[in-house]
Amino acid sequence: MCLAIVGKILSINNDDAMVIIMGIKTTVNIILIEDLHIGDEVLIHAGFAIEKISEEKADFIKHQLKALIMDDKDG
């Protein structure tokens, strides 16, 4: 099973971007997406930003992931 996670672009340096994912900063490759800007939300898989998404979609995905994590802690 593959999972993409949501990250917000904090800075851009050539083909890489610093993103924040659930409070953790990391660097991802952004070569697959054109026209990214600081503040954009992206889906990330295997160290690559694979899709730019709306803030609303990002919020929905983050909410669902947090719900799964909390549900797993209860089980």
On the question of pLDDT at 71 being above 90, the answer is no
Structure tokens at 16: 């890489």
Rounded Cα gap, residues 71 and 11, in angstroms: 33
pLDDT score at 59: 95
The answer to whether the beta carbons of residues 49 and 37 sit under 8 Å apart is: no
On the question of pLDDT at 8 being above 80, the answer is yes
Give the pLDDT confidence of 15-54 residue by residue, as tens digits: 999 999 989 999 999 999 999 999 999 999 999 999 999 9
Query: CA nearest 44: which of 33, 59, 55?
Result: 33
CATH no. for 5-74? 2.30.30.140
